[in-house]
């Protein structure tokens, strides 16, 4: 796959976003008081690492195999859904961590939305859309956790 200058620039931005997400999720996993939240952040950090690997593949001119990535993602999401159903204790520090990561996921998902529309190669678009969908699932997981713990009141 040959990238346009704009595609390369967008991928570099996404690479930076993924690196920040990995750092934040790992850092916040170590700070989280609730074991459920700690595990969710650790799972999301691993998925963000998978996203970074995909972006790096694309930057090197390779189109990633999304079927393999989708199978891994589905298994991780099923595990996360089971963990989200379990109860835990609310903590003000955990609420701050969740709020920050929810804002981060909103931003990163939006950035992927822009990139999806700018790519020429259909397979590259599908790869970026797949990552965007997982970013939205991260946001949904955080939202559901916060709602369940009384940290977020949808109006």
Residue 152 sits at φ, ψ, to 5 deg, of -140, 125
pLDDT at 152: 87
Does position 85 have pLDDT exceeding 80, yes or no? no
HSE of 120, CA atoms in CB hemisphere, 13 A: 8
Q: Identify whether the C-beta of residue 25 lies closer than 8 Å to the C-beta of residue 41.
A: yes
What's the start-to-end Cα distance of the chain, in Å? 45
Domains located in the chain, CATH noted = 5-79+90-148 (1.20.1260.10)
State the pTM of this model. 0.83
Per residue in 10-66, pLDDT (tens digit) is 999 999 999 999 999 999 999 999 999 999 999 999 999 999 999 999 999 998 877
> What is the mean predicted confidence (pLDDT) over 74-90?
50
pLDDT score for 86: 44
């Amino acid at each position: 796959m040959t990238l346009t200058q704009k595609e390369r620039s967008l991928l570099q931005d996404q690479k930076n976003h993924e690196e920040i997400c990995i750092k934040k999720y790992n850092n916040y996993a170590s700070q989280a008081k609730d074991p459920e939240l700690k595990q969710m952040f650790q799972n999301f950090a691993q998925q963000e690492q998978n996203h970074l690997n995909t972006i790096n593949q694309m930057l090197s001119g390779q189109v990633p195999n999304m079927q393999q990535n989708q199978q891994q993602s589905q298994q991780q999401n099923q595990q996360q859904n089971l963990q989200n159903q379990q109860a835990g204790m609310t903590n003000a520090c955990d609420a701050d961590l969740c709020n920050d990561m929810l804002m981060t996921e909103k931003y990163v998902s939006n950035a992927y939305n822009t990139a999806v529309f700018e790519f020429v190669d259909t397979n590259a678009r599908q790869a970026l859309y797949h990552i965007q969908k997982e970013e939205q699932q991260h946001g949904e997981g955080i939202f559901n956790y916060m709602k369940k713990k009384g940290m977020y009141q949808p109006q």
